[in-house]
Structure 1
């Protein structure tokens, strides 16, 4: 029942928020998001560490004669993704309090509806239920970006929508094919349950094309080079809350899909294309970093840095090593925390100066000790300084890539140097030096802004200093995943 409550509570709260006019909508949305986080914390305390099986499960026939069920549950990987989602959404809602959006009830209801879609993706144990929530999560963020975005929001969001729908069709086609290969149970001729997919015995040629059908859908969402072209413009033109949702949580859907559905279902197909995917991922690391170094717009810089970080996560996961898979899981948490914090700081700077151009900024540290400290902590987490959250995941990911291939590992390791270059140059250009006309009067953080940043900074150090808090939750599920891949 815990999983069902986590799934349906945001949707019920969204319906309530739709009925509220005026500023009360954001307060109700924030309270609802906090309740959702409390439920997730209860799930963490009730979770049996060490078990490889999904817990808090619920399975109800949905289309019984077709073998499609409303099956949900959480193993360690799912639980951590649910925890990340429920932790970030209240902060994303709270970050919007300093903005005045038209039709606020619709705006906040869409955020909560999106949370339902995100949770659904992470807890679904039926292929078509997973696909359903995959599409549900897309619709709210599309409308948030299209209605409240920047001047180029319509063509940009349309491109984003076309890209993701295009990939989704390939995933649906793969799921349909796999579904028709499964043996039936009871009155159903076939089954769409994830375990039925795991038990299929398909030849390597079939798995090869299925791999690309699934990988295309997940690679677009992550996004992995060269399927990334929708991302920078969408991040830039979207309102900051939509950008946080996209970068902090939604791209994790693609990585999660690789872990949950691609690698264990078509391992022979994956093994045939590992080098190609690793090369694409490593190209993404270097390409994203170099383009980030050249950026002068803060939002686009972080967007391209996200491509580099996701490239490393993908490379680690496709190394098919325990270190790589564990690093991918923990780095999803770390990247979500860091990127949401950095986008929020950019929003703070933009709200005071009305510019995101690095050349128009400078000298901000002279009057903002609190902002400077929080900014630097999140930045150091992003460049993987030891004792911060980014170090743990990056170390495990690079270890996994090195175990697979030393040359790949050496090139992927450039992320450490290049990441430090573009992040520290950004900080220097924005925060240090002399003041500009735009930064001549710059107030330090408000209480509301501190309330958003403090939990993020706490997580930077918590994950960095006590990574076993999270690794122990995911380790059995990762080990089980590796066993399934190797067994097949």
Structure 2
């Protein structure tokens, strides 16, 4: 029952928000998002972390004649992704309060509709239900970016839409083929249930092409090199709240899809191609970091930083060892928290100065002790300073990659060095030095802005100091995943 509430509450709230005219819509959307977070906290309190199987399961026929069911539930991996989503959405809504968006009821309703799609992806246990929510999550973010984005929003969002739809067709084709392989030989009855897919025994050649169909769909969403070209422009042109949704939560759909549907369904295909994926991921780490160093627009710099960090997560996941998989799960949490905080700080600076160019800024720290502290903490979490959230995930990921191949681990480890270079250079250029005409009247954080940043900073230290609270939730599910892969 709790899983169904988590899934449907944002959609119901979105319908209510649509009926509210004026700026009152944002307040109702914020309250609705807080209720959703409270539901997630209740789900955690009722969750038995010692079990690797899904809990809070709801399963009834959806298209009964075709063997398609409305099957939802949460294991430890799903629960952490639901927690991340429900934690970030109210903060993203709250971060928008200083903006007066046109048609606010539509804007906030789309955010809540997207939350339903995201939750649906993380709890779906039927392949076609997963595909349905995968597409549901795409539609709202497309309209948010296309309507409220920057000057080049139309061609940029069209490119994003084409990329993601292209990947979705590959995923749908793979799911349809797998669906027809289920059931006894010659039987008319088939199933799209996740367990039916897990029990399939396909030859290596078949699993290889299915691997690539699924991987392309998930790699575009993450994104992984060379499927990333939509990302920097989309992140830059989208309104800040859309960028936070994309970077903080939506890209996790791709990584989650790998964990839930790719690795356990086609393990022979994964074994055949995992080394190539690792190489592509590591190329993405180095390439993204080098391009980030060259950026002068803060938002674009963080976009390439996110691309590099996701490359490390993908590399760790495809090592197929416990450290890599656990590191990938915990780093999805940490990356979502850090990147949302950083994009929000960039939004604060841009809204006060009307520029995101690093060369136009400087001297901000002279009058902004609160902003300086929050900015530095989130930055240090992003560059994996010990005792912060980023350190836990990156340590496990690099440990997993080193275990797979020491040379791969050495190159992947450059993410820490290069990340420190571009992040600290950005901080120095924006916050230190002499004031410019853009920053001479810069003011410190408002109460509303502190209300967004304080929970994020708390989580930076909470995950960094007490990682076992989160790792213990996902550990049984990761162990179950490894058992399925190695069967």
TM-score (norm 2): 0.99
Q: Give, in whole Å, the separation in 1 of the partners of 2:45 and 2:274.
A: 37
SS at match of 2:486: helix
Counterpart of 2:303? 303
Counterpart of 1:90? 90
Q: How far is 1:184 from its partner?
A: 6.2
Q: Give, in whole Å, the separation in 1 of the partners of 2:168 and 2:138.
A: 11
Question: 1:210 touches 1:266 (CA, 8 Å); kept in 2?
Answer: yes
Counterpart of 1:316? 316
| Matches for 1:436-455 after TM superposition, within 5 Å | 436-455=436-455
Q: Give, in whole Å, the separation in 1 of the partners of 2:49 and 2:68.
A: 29
Counterpart of 2:137? 137
SS at match of 2:264: helix
Q: Give, in whole Å, the separation in 1 of the partners of 2:176 and 2:358.
A: 49
| Matches for 1:345-360 after TM superposition, within 5 Å | 345-360=345-360
| Matches for 1:99-138 after TM superposition, within 5 Å | 99-138=99-138
CA RMSD of superposed structures (Å): 0.9
Counterpart of 1:329? 329
SS at match of 1:58: strand
Q: How far is 1:274 from its partner?
A: 1.1
Counterpart of 1:11? 11
Counterpart of 2:406? 406
| Matches for 1:167-316 after TM superposition, within 5 Å | 167-183=167-183, 189-316=189-316
CA deviation vs aligned residue, 1:221-251 (integer Å, no higher than 9, x gap): 0000000000000000000000000000000
SS at match of 1:355: coil
| Matches for 1:371-410 after TM superposition, within 5 Å | 371-410=371-410
| Matches for 1:143-182 after TM superposition, within 5 Å | 143-182=143-182
Question: 1:170 touches 1:217 (CA, 8 Å); kept in 2?
Answer: yes
Counterpart of 1:434? 434
Question: 1:184 touches 1:191 (CA, 8 Å); kept in 2?
Answer: no
| Matches for 1:37-48 after TM superposition, within 5 Å | 37-48=37-48
Question: 1:144 touches 1:242 (CA, 8 Å); kept in 2?
Answer: yes
| Matches for 1:1-80 after TM superposition, within 5 Å | 1-80=1-80
CA deviation vs aligned residue, 1:206-235 (integer Å, no higher than 9, x gap): 000000000000000000000000000000
Q: How far is 1:414 from its partner?
A: 0.4
- Number of positions where the alignment pairs a residue of Structure 1 with one of Structure 2: 486
Q: Give, in whole Å, the separation in 2 of the partners of 1:213 and 1:16.
A: 38
Q: Note the residue ranges of structure 1 that are not aligned, 5 or more in a row.
A: none
Q: How far is 1:65 from its partner?
A: 1.1
Q: Give, in whole Å, the separation in 2 of the partners of 1:360 and 1:170.
A: 44
SS at match of 1:70: strand
Q: Note the residue ranges of structure 2 that are not aligned, 5 or more in a row.
A: none
Q: Give, in whole Å, the separation in 2 of the partners of 1:188 and 1:235.
A: 46
Q: How far is 1:66 from its partner?
A: 0.6
Q: 1:184 to 1:109 in 2, by over 3 A?
A: farther
TM-score (norm 1): 0.99
Q: 1:316 to 1:446 in 2, by over 3 A?
A: same
Q: Give, in whole Å, the separation in 2 of the partners of 1:201 and 1:118.
A: 30
SS at match of 1:69: strand
SS at match of 2:96: helix
Q: Give, in whole Å, the separation in 1 of the partners of 2:322 and 2:72.
A: 25
Q: Give, in whole Å, the separation in 2 of the partners of 1:144 and 1:246.
A: 11
SS at match of 1:272: helix
Q: Give, in whole Å, the separation in 2 of the partners of 1:351 and 1:181.
A: 54
Q: Give, in whole Å, the separation in 2 of the partners of 1:64 and 1:52.
A: 28
Q: How far is 1:60 from its partner?
A: 1.1
Question: 1:65 touches 1:188 (CA, 8 Å); kept in 2?
Answer: no
Q: How far is 1:188 from its partner?
A: 6.6
Question: 1:64 touches 1:188 (CA, 8 Å); kept in 2?
Answer: no
Q: Give, in whole Å, the separation in 1 of the partners of 2:383 and 2:184.
A: 50
SS at match of 1:73: strand
Question: 1:67 touches 1:188 (CA, 8 Å); kept in 2?
Answer: no
CA deviation vs aligned residue, 1:111-148 (integer Å, no higher than 9, x gap): 00000000000000000000000000000000000000
Q: How far is 1:397 from its partner?
A: 0.2
Q: How far is 1:153 from its partner?
A: 0.2
CA deviation vs aligned residue, 1:94-124 (integer Å, no higher than 9, x gap): 0000000000000000000000000000000
Q: Give, in whole Å, the separation in 2 of the partners of 1:16 and 1:200.
A: 43
SS at match of 1:56: strand
CA deviation vs aligned residue, 1:271-309 (integer Å, no higher than 9, x gap): 111111000000000000000000000000000000100
SS at match of 1:264: coil
